[in-house]
Structure 1
Amino acid sequence: MSLRFTPVLLIAALSLAGCAAVAPEQPSPPDPGPLSVAPQAPDTAGLTADDGYVAPGVWLTLNDDVPAITNLDPDLRRALDAAAAASDVEFSFTSGWRSGDYQQHLYDEAVANYGSEEEARKWVMLPDDSQHVHGKAVDVATADAMDWINRFGAPFGLCQIYANESWHFEFVPGVTEQCPPMLLDSTAG
């Protein structure tokens, strides 16, 4: 009687014997270094950091010297600075100020993705209507910061505006105690 081991039986036998099958060591991917705003990506229609473009996966802070942050409206910037100082949560952003060209690009992408202008407008506004273009909106990167701003942002004038965009916050002048009721989406305003 001869014993034949299949790969599964061999691994099981080695495991029972106190040995482990070891896969060949794979080299680690190179460290990409710190994340930064991409100067241009091939799928962005030539948009750059000067348009407020932020590459996917990149998070900005209030200390970043890039147009998406430096072109924020002074009132929004003061409110974010004060809220960040009062918070024990780090504030980071996936988007802030955007040029009209960038906003139009996002709108055009939304129309292509959602199949109609009506559906796209629930998620992306045209440049003339977008608070991002006016520097009065930011998209918050983390759930912790979103939660903190929703619970404690009103005294700073920071409010989530649209129920379908938990990441989108704007400065609302005159708010000190409670944010106004959220709109269902950007078509409701």
Structure 2
Amino acid sequence: MIRLPKPIAPSEIAFDIDGVIADTMESFLNIARKEFGITHIKKDHITSYWLEDCISIPIHITHAIIDRLVKDPFGTALTPIEGAREALSTLIPHSSLTFVTARPDSGPITEWLHSILPEATRHRLNVIATGEHAKKVDVLKAIGVSYFVEDNLDTCDSLYREGINAIVFDQPWNRGHTPFLRVTSWKEIMEMIKFD
């Protein structure tokens, strides 16, 4: 893992949700298997952030599953990525947590976050839904975040150009060489954070 020149304070970092906190692609594949009989696709087959570019599922099925994941994280049995719940629970006493997502509505995913982090009071979780990836940069600049953990390389590139330190959360769809710091686990993220 690349080392940072200085540790990150809990208040300096924010997080994407899908692919970083929530194991959205695993839920996508579970729905594809159970409800549509699509069993030939595995998570490692998802080599592009844009699903239609890399997997052979009819586009209307892809859109239907994504729509359900966005609107109903509980009904789709969305689960956290390994280590995310524990790491975020460790951060809560030290700083409010900020999440910036390209989802169009923050309501359902905010409720899901509260369900996995029941110890967090409402004012300790700040969830901002931008509706599109390109708007994340302006939001993060406006709130003064220095580091952002993200799985979409296009967003990381936009952040990098605007002076925000992008940290890539390693996933099959973002592999390959990038100029960004890359982490493969929540344990690695927590090793970069300094607690007072």
Q: With structure 2 as the length reference, what TM-score do the two structures score?
A: 0.26
Which has the bigger relative contact order, CA under 8 A and spacing at least 6? 2
Q: With structure 1 as the length reference, what TM-score do the two structures score?
A: 0.26
Which one has a larger percent helix, Structure 1 or Structure 2?
A: 2
